[in-house]
Structure 1
Amino acid sequence: MNGRAGWLAGLAGVAAVGSAAGVTAARSLRRRVTEDDPHRDEDFELLDADRSSVVTTADGVPLAVRETGPPDAPLTVVFAHGFCLRMGSFHFQRARLTEQWGDQVRMVFYDQRGHGLSGNAPPDSYTVEQLGQDLESVLAVTASRGPVVLVGHSMGGMTVLSHARQYPQRYPTRVVGAAIISSAAEGVSRSPLGEILNNPALEAVRFAARYAPGAVHRGRGAARAVIGPILRAASYGDEEMSPSVVAFSEKMMHDTTITTLVEFLHALEVHDETAGLETLSKVPTLVACGDRDLLTPLEYSQEMARAMPKAELLIVGGAGHLVQLERPEVIDDALVRLVERATPSKLVALTRRVRERVWSYE
């Protein structure tokens, strides 16, 4: 079989597996969506109105950046989003924490390379190690002075770990706290996503993405047939979900290019950033996940928390992988606690009032 025929056969295999694997997941997702939509009028483009800029990485990739809060705020919190998402996945954190922190905190959000409004890049640069270097570029431009807290969700959590491994001198002198949400320190082979990644047909798509763009374009829908239903069904727990929130997250996933999807899937499978845990142990850390997260099961978070004595481990009952969208109030409160632990005493009074609030996490 020649190379072209092999690519096309692989793409056909993706389609066959995807159609079978996605049925149960898609049905499960439909059961979780409720007609009662508390977020029907939510403005999910809120971040688009914030101050915008572009940070160019060391290898020349433009990263779209948004920020809110005074440029001279005492603290900067930088958010790194997850796989097949964009900075808008922190929508609820931006809305609530802006009100919570006022002019005491500046928040910086950016789209990872190949995602959202940021530029595409050579496929071989789609690695977790490179994402850690991209985060350093963002920090150098947007937070060159003053204390910083890093927040990473999913692949963004891996980004934070990668940064900690590669730039340990930044901790705790500049980076004074970190949150790792729904993430893993090393490859996700033990999760249901890992089982899907073992499908050789996906490797055929990845090969074609690098060497036969025309072929991968024809297999675009096939690759999504494998991954799409898994990502969507694993996004949320069993609780009924707002249709508007579900549509918002699905759009982010759908808008991600096929090259970004297959290249970063491989990166998630092979990455190992466990060395970053030692660096993060120098600063107050939050490790959070939903107990129904199928992509990065809670065991990953428990293992990371055990390696970091200063970590708060937060397991959110009933929540899936997109816990910051599904149970934003729980994650918001945990981030407030993290900032209180990580920052100078003048911020403590500002955040202490959160203790008066009682949330049901189960």
Structure 2
Amino acid sequence: MSERSQLTLADGATLCVESWGPADAQVTVVLLHGWCLDRRTWHHQVAALLEMRPTPRVIAYDTRGHGRSGSTRLASATLGQLGEDLAEVLRVVAPDGPVVLAGHSMGGMTIMEFAHRFPDEFTRRVAGLLFVSTTAEGHAHTRYGLPPRLALLMRAGETLGAGLLARSGAWRPHRAVLPALRPALRWLLFGDEYEDAALQITIKSVGGTSLRSIGGFRTSIGEQQRLDTLARLGNVPAAVLVGDRDRLTPPPCANSIAEALPGTELTVYPGAGHMLILERHVDVSAVLADIVRRAIPVKRRRTLRKAA
């Protein structure tokens, strides 16, 4: 069973937070979803983590303007704000003990903002990292799987469209046309093989994101540059995962993260797209579980080995 609560942030925005597992667990795992998605995209990893022994505490929340969380002001639709939101979530919902942060797409970028803005807090709290289908270099490597000239045209159109959507308010009229957009979303977000349920939950998540959030976060996502931040994080147990058919954050994005962050393990999944946490959920869950085990405090780890 999970516990669902509403967290009111300093600026009045509200987040829908869901947690599982024992409150006194040795490690807390915080799952951060991607742009235009919500916490449900991590459901496979939540189930896998709850089968671990000892069981970690697991927390997932909908980013402001996404899912069941409240809307965001346009001025607050930035990655910097999301980094501050993550800091507040940790202070209120998981104030003690080591944490493992796992971020998909925009969620990974949120982790980088948290590290950039609160380096001492990051060093004190974070015992493991998982970056899935994300980037530290904005849209520098994004080609949408297209030839360079077509990619530039698509980016220009996307940027123009995002600006219009950002000023369209906190409503969600696009839900009515999502069935017609299903082939386009499938092409953009998924690789060679996928389960229909994975596409369905993705479409529902996009439908739950306001127009302001869809458009508003685009500028910040495209401009972020955080390789220097990653290089200063030290030797934290970490992994970077990407699909070789990812049209939004292709393998060069993952390569640069792995090169910047000391000791990071990089895995590229053939045939997989951007929704790796759904497409290759067994593999992603296994990597995350390994990071969680490595994040268990040393004394506790020794006790478990003796008991075994």
Note if contact 1:126-1:264 (Cα within 8 Å) is conserved in structure 2.
yes
- Match of 2:64, as an amino acid? R
Contact 1:340 1:348 in 2 (8 A): no
Q: Distance in 2 between matches of 1:205 and 1:183?
A: 20
Q: Is it true that 1:278 corresponds to 2:222 in the alignment? A: no
2:274 aligned to which of 321, 341, 347 = 321
**Structure 2: distance between partners of 1:302 and 1:140:** 32
Q: Take 2:183 and 2:118, find their aligned partners in 1: how far apart are those partners?
A: 36
The change in CA–CA distance for 1:208 and 1:289 in structure 2 (over 3 A counts) is closer
> Residues 340 and 295 from structure 1, CA distance in 2 versus in 1: closer, same or farther, beyond 3 angstroms?
same
Distance 1:304 1:77 in 2: 21
RMSD value, Cα: 2.8
- Report matched runs for 1:250-265 at 5 Å: 250-265=203-218
Residue 321 to residue 342, structure 1, CA distance change in 2 (3 Å) = same
8 Å contact 1:85–1:256 — kept in the other structure? yes
- Paired residues in the alignment total 298
Change (3 A) 1:196 1:152: farther
- Mapping of residues 237-256 of structure 1, within 5 Å: 237-239=191-193, 241-256=194-209
| Structure 1: gaps (5+ residues) | 1-48, 352-362
C-alpha distance in 1 between matches for 2:74 and 2:120: 29
Shift of the alpha carbon at 1:335? 0.8
Q: Does 1:305 align with 2:262?
A: no
What secondary structure sits across from 1:318 in the alignment? coil
Residue 295 in 1 paired to residue 248 in 2?
yes
Is the 2:238–2:265 Cα contact (8 Å) retained in structure 1?
yes
SS in 1 for 2:52: helix
Q: Residue deviations 1:257-293, cap 9 Å, x none?
A: 2111111222221222223302433412111111111
Structure 1 residue matching 2:51: 3-state secondary structure: helix
User: Cα gap change, 1:178/1:50 in structure 2, threshold over 3 Å: closer, same or farther?
Assistant: same
Q: Quick one: distance in 1 between partners of 2:244 and 2:101?
A: 23
- Kept after mapping to 2: 8 A contact 1:197/1:269: no
Partner residue, 2:186: 232
Counterpart for residue 52 of structure 1: 4
Deviation at 1:208, TM superposition (A): 6.3
Farther-moved stretch of structure 1 (222-231 vs 116-125): 222-231
Q: CA deviation at 1:225?
A: 11
Change (3 A) 1:221 1:289: same
> Is 1:61 paired with 2:4?
no
In 1, the alpha carbon distance for the partners of 2:183 and 2:233 equals 34
Partner of 1:94: 46
> For residues 169-220 of structure 1, what are the alpha-carbon distances to aligned partners after superposition, in whole Å with 9 as ceiling and x for unaligned?
023321111111100002114313574663257436524643x659x989x5
**2:172–2:208 CA contact under 8 A, matched in 1:** no
Partner of 2:118: 167
Task: Tell whether the 8 Å contact from 1:86 to 1:111 is kept in structure 2 after alignment.
Answer: yes
Write out per-residue CA displacement over residues 288-312 of structure 1, whole angstroms, 9 at most, x where no aligned residue.
1111111100111011101112211
Mapped contact 1:187–1:269 kept (Cα < 8 A)? yes
Residue 157 (structure 1) aligns with? 108
Q: Residue 160 of structure 2 corresponds to which residue in structure 1? A: 203
What's the counterpart of residue 289 of structure 2? Answer: 336
Distance 1:130 1:304, change over 3 A: same
TM-score, normalising length from structure 1? 0.75
Letter in 2 for 1:243: D
Shift of 1:221: 8.5
Change (3 A) 1:139 1:227: farther
Q: In structure 1, what is the Cα distance between the partners aligned to 2:250 and 2:303?
A: 35
The 5 A counterparts of 1:18-57 are 50-57=2-9
Provide TM-score, normalisation by structure 2.
0.87
Taking every aligned residue pair, what percent have the same amino acid on both sides?
36
> Do the aligned residues in 2 keep the contact of 1:205 with 1:223 (CA within 8 Å)?
no
Task: Give the Cα–Cα distance (whole angstroms) in 2 for the partners of residues 282 and 342 of structure 1.
Answer: 12
Whole-angstrom distance in 1 between the partners of 2:200 and 2:179: 17
Q: 1:227 to 1:168 in 2, by over 3 A?
A: farther
Q: 5+ unaligned residues in a row in structure 2: which ranges?
A: 145-150
Q: Hey, what's the Cα distance between the residues in 1 that align with 2:232 and 2:153?
A: 32
Partner-residue secondary structure (3-state), 1:293: coil
Higher mean displacement: 338-347 or 133-142: 338-347
